[in-house]
Structure 1
Amino acid sequence: MNVPVSLFWRRVVTVLTGTIAAQALPLLLAPLITRMCTPQEMGAFSVWLGVVQIVSIVATLRLETAMILDHDSSDQQTCFSVIANFSLMLAIVTTIGAVFARQLGMSQAVQMNWFGLLTIGVGMWLTAYTHSILAYATSYNAFGKAAQAKVWGAGSIVLSQVLLLLLGAGSIGLMAGQIIGLACGLIAAVFLLSPPRPQLSWTPSAAQRQYLNKHAAFWRYALPADLLNVVAGKLPLFMIGLKFGLLEAGLFALTQRVLAAPISLLAASVLEVFKRQSVHEWQTFGNCRDAYTHTFKALALLGAIPTILMVLFAPHLFALIFGESWRQAGEYARIMSPLYFLNFIASPLSYVFYVVGKQRVDLVWQVALFAMTATVFFSPLTLKQCLWWYTCGYSLLYLIYLALSYRFAHHKLNLA
């Protein structure tokens, strides 16, 4: 019943190698970028990127996750068709909506430059379709080629941003660099992985409607749950920008980026392998206890040292690496490090909810998270007080989340 540990970690290392390569340039050049742009410009870019990431969740209907469960080629082509058609229509609607929001005087839309408003839909479509292709790669254990596509995308983003910042483009340069890099990453993914070609149409075919009904749990429960999770994650950035200005939003954005680095580097790599392994164990043995336990222990050990370093030295490290003007971001990192430690562990293990069909439970948890986040950041508190309460509330919810995922992973399914 036990999954060979060597096989599990060989796959993790394959994904991790590509992920490190993909993140190496962004991490190495981050100190250069923070010296080439102001916290305000970083704040404007981060708000735009947050909107793109939120809408891209809706664009896939979370059906890219279902693709890992469906290995039939016709089903996977249908999935690509549904995602391509829906995301294209959503991109058009989003762009028109952003323009109308600015004309109506909505504060976030007014603060954003015209380039940002007009490229939200483009960025969303590129992000959504690339994620779908990477999910397709996971379904076939094509971790190496997926890693190469990530390298092309991440490298193109950061190099384009540096070049445009050198030309004095400011926040527009950061946005344009993101678009260029996303396009390069998508082209690389298509070339390397040869995903099924979608059938484009304005209305869903009978096969597409049948596919949507078959995987209704994903767009009925997983989509709202994941959307609430992403919105709850971006809400602090949006609210800080509104209440305290783009300067504080830029500082907070760097805090999030640094603290999320271990998650994007290692936890995301473990997740790609855990997805496949947990599905295999569940379908074969009726539970995914072994994959869950092994992954939990490894992540807890790996996340402990970076967390301790952040708690002890974050302000000094931020000032040294990114420049003195970013020291305050280190203070925020010190406060939020315990939260990101729990996030580092829970992020890969959250896939258990999909494997065992507990999307509704996940949705309830996400509603609680969103309610807590909104309550904290809409309260008349100082920024540091908001961050303290946010960290405590989110950490408590993560402990509950881990307890639930542990219970579901160890549940014995009757396969008879």
Structure 2
Amino acid sequence: MQIRLKKVLLESQYFKYIYQLTMGSFLAQIITVLVAPFMTRLYAPEEIGIYTLLLTVVTIFGPVLCGKYDQAIVAAEDENEIVQLIVGSIFVSFVFIILITIGFNIYLTLNSQITDKVGGFAYLVIGVLFITVFVNILTAYNNRYKEYKIISTVIVTRTLAQNVGVLVFGLLKFGSIGLLLSQLIGMLVGFKRQGKHLYQNRRKLREVTFKGIKTSLIKYKDLPRFSMPAHFINTAAYSILNFFIIDLFGLAVFGFYAISYRILGLPLNLISMNVSKVFFQRAFEEKKMLGNYRSSLKIISVFLLCLSIPMVIILFMLGPFVFRQVFGGGWNEAGVYVQILSPMYGLRFIVSALAPALIISGKQKMEFYMSNLFIIASVLSYMVCKLMGGEIYIFLTIITLTYSLIYIIFYLYIYKLSKGI
């Protein structure tokens, strides 16, 4: 039976799905890479720093706005349960957005230097969050029905729209406001195509009842209880570094770090996150058939490892040189940051794609505990440099070492779960 399953996995559309998602993301990231050298010449490091800092709100809260109920759409039993989860996800998201807006307003009040630079345009971030709710839900719905070509196409069109905005607003000298506007415009693209299937089944939405929503939300209650806080903490572990770096080294240094973080994130957006979608769907099916998902994990692990190793070597060896040549002499510093962080990002590239294994195994609680380690590592790194007066290189080195160890532990645990023991 297991040999038969392996044959099905290899000869089916398993890698076709990965190809469809990856090609779309590849084109999107090519667009981003092509625009990046113009971006670093049209915007000052401080402007990129302010934009990245404000967008941190979206980075932290965007993936968890639905309480992770959007992930349940992929595993839902039938169409009725799907629409109940969709409506429930929207309701949960709106509650969170109200709370986030209140907190964001307090933050801006306490940090007037931000509003001094961009004024009320800072609240464009809340608009981006609002749109993110529907992007998350529609993406999960497309994933449910293996509409990977649609997901791929929308990724490209959104990225193209956003980067065109970056260039246009940069030429108009809009600064950080232009970057925020381009982000909002990009998010608005692609809704019609992504929601076409759901629109065709819109009659199901009329059958939604409060009782049905409540039942579905209770059924998948472990997602907001464990998976959501774990994802939030995991994301915050990286995003909190933004605030630490600004406090320790200033906005200019953070601007360099923001570009290095952006470039290092390309492989994650290009391959890892898309592979994760396919792994989730296929491993879930394998688990139902055999009670384990070892084959899916091994295939994807080897695939990601073969990509990760050369990526890390290239970044480590050529980081400063590439940044100096591509982004301009003044951005060599960001290349040094990439050089330091690349080994850790190589591990993150692999483990992030496999994180849905915890949902498949019903171990969301462990994801929460593991993610706390990243926060602890971040705070300890900050405290060491704060007390000892360490420079940015020391701070990033400590982050690389501690985060890498956590990712190794994380993978070993996922591997154990895959055996179905």
| TM score, norm. by length of structure 2 | 0.92
CA distance in 2, matches of 1:188, 1:326: 39
**Residue of structure 2 in register with 1:344 after alignment:** 349
**Residue of structure 2 in register with 1:284 after alignment:** 289
Pairing partner for 1:223 from 223, 228, 233: 228
**Residue of structure 2 in register with 1:100 after alignment:** 106
Alignment of 1:137 with 2:142, yes or no, is yes
Secondary structure of the corresponding residue to residue 411 of structure 1: coil
**Residue of structure 2 in register with 1:85 after alignment:** 91
Query: Per the alignment, do residues 378 and 111 of structure 1 end up closer, same or farther by CA in structure 2, a change over 3 Å counting?
Result: farther
**Residue of structure 2 in register with 1:411 after alignment:** 420
Pairing partner for 1:59 from 55, 65, 75: 65
Query: Per the alignment, do residues 101 and 311 of structure 1 end up closer, same or farther by CA in structure 2, a change over 3 Å counting?
Result: closer
Pairing partner for 1:20 from 1, 5, 26: 26
The CA deviation at 1:390 is 0.6
- The CA deviation string for residues 64-115 of structure 1, in whole angstroms up to 9 with x for no partner, is 1111111411111111112222323433443343223333x24786577334
Query: Per the alignment, do residues 196 and 95 of structure 1 end up closer, same or farther by CA in structure 2, a change over 3 Å counting?
Result: farther
> Which amino acid in the other structure matches residue 182 of structure 1?
M
Alignment of 1:388 with 2:397, yes or no, is yes
**Residue of structure 1 in register with 2:180 after alignment:** 175
Secondary structure of the corresponding residue to residue 292 of structure 2: coil
> Which amino acid in the other structure matches residue 21 of structure 1?
L
Secondary structure of the corresponding residue to residue 385 of structure 1: helix
| TM score, norm. by length of structure 1 | 0.93
Q: Report the number of matched residues.
A: 408
> Which amino acid in the other structure matches residue 346 of structure 2?
F
CA distance in 1, matches of 2:316, 2:233: 28
- The CA deviation string for residues 204-245 of structure 1, in whole angstroms up to 9 with x for no partner, is 922222211100110000000000001001111221123222
* Contact preservation (8 Å) 2:50, 2:114: no
The CA deviation at 1:372 is 1.1
Alignment of 1:50 with 2:56, yes or no, is yes
What are the within-5 Å matches in structure 2 for residues 156-235 of structure 1?
Answer: 156-191=161-196, 194=199, 205-235=210-240
Query: Per the alignment, do residues 176 and 395 of structure 1 end up closer, same or farther by CA in structure 2, a change over 3 Å counting?
Result: same
Query: Per the alignment, do residues 77 and 139 of structure 1 end up closer, same or farther by CA in structure 2, a change over 3 Å counting?
Result: same
Pairing partner for 2:410 from 401, 410, 415: 401
Query: Per the alignment, do residues 368 and 11 of structure 1 end up closer, same or farther by CA in structure 2, a change over 3 Å counting?
Result: same
The CA deviation at 1:191 is 4.2
- The CA deviation string for residues 388-413 of structure 1, in whole angstroms up to 9 with x for no partner, is 1110000000000010000001224x
Alignment of 1:327 with 2:336, yes or no, is no
* Contact preservation (8 Å) 2:63, 2:136: no
Query: Per the alignment, do residues 205 and 399 of structure 1 end up closer, same or farther by CA in structure 2, a change over 3 Å counting?
Result: same
**Residue of structure 1 in register with 2:156 after alignment:** 151
> Which region of structure 1 is more displaced relative to structure 2, 83-92 or 283-292?
83-92
> Which amino acid in the other structure matches residue 333 of structure 1?
V
Secondary structure of the corresponding residue to residue 362 of structure 2: coil
What are the within-5 Å matches in structure 2 for residues 353-364 of structure 1?
Answer: 353-364=358-369
Query: Per the alignment, do residues 370 and 100 of structure 1 end up closer, same or farther by CA in structure 2, a change over 3 Å counting?
Result: closer
- The CA deviation string for residues 371-393 of structure 1, in whole angstroms up to 9 with x for no partner, is 11122123313211111111000
> Which amino acid in the other structure matches residue 408 of structure 2?
L
CA distance in 2, matches of 1:89, 1:296: 38
**Residue of structure 2 in register with 1:76 after alignment:** 82
Query: Per the alignment, do residues 345 and 223 of structure 1 end up closer, same or farther by CA in structure 2, a change over 3 Å counting?
Result: same
CA distance in 2, matches of 1:112, 1:88: 28
- The CA deviation string for residues 231-261 of structure 1, in whole angstroms up to 9 with x for no partner, is 0011112211232222111111111111121
> Which amino acid in the other structure matches residue 128 of structure 2?
G
> 5+ residue gaps in structure 1?
none
CA distance in 2, matches of 1:116, 1:242: 23
> Which region of structure 1 is more displaced relative to structure 2, 367-376 or 326-335?
367-376
> Which amino acid in the other structure matches residue 395 of structure 2?
C
The CA deviation at 1:164 is 1.0
CA distance in 2, matches of 1:236, 1:410: 35
Query: Per the alignment, do residues 91 and 117 of structure 1 end up closer, same or farther by CA in structure 2, a change over 3 Å counting?
Result: farther
> Which amino acid in the other structure matches residue 322 of structure 1?
F
- The CA deviation string for residues 287-312 of structure 1, in whole angstroms up to 9 with x for no partner, is 00001001111111111112101111
Pairing partner for 2:250 from 245, 252, 265: 245
* Contact preservation (8 Å) 2:344, 2:404: yes
Secondary structure of the corresponding residue to residue 169 of structure 1: coil
* Contact preservation (8 Å) 1:145, 1:193: no
**Residue of structure 1 in register with 2:307 after alignment:** 302
The CA deviation at 1:116 is 4.4
Query: Per the alignment, do residues 331 and 135 of structure 1 end up closer, same or farther by CA in structure 2, a change over 3 Å counting?
Result: same
Pairing partner for 2:279 from 260, 274, 282: 274
Overall identity of the aligned pairs, in % = 25
> Which amino acid in the other structure matches residue 236 of structure 2?
V
The CA deviation at 1:35 is 1.1
Secondary structure of the corresponding residue to residue 60 of structure 1: coil
Query: Per the alignment, do residues 254 and 307 of structure 1 end up closer, same or farther by CA in structure 2, a change over 3 Å counting?
Result: same
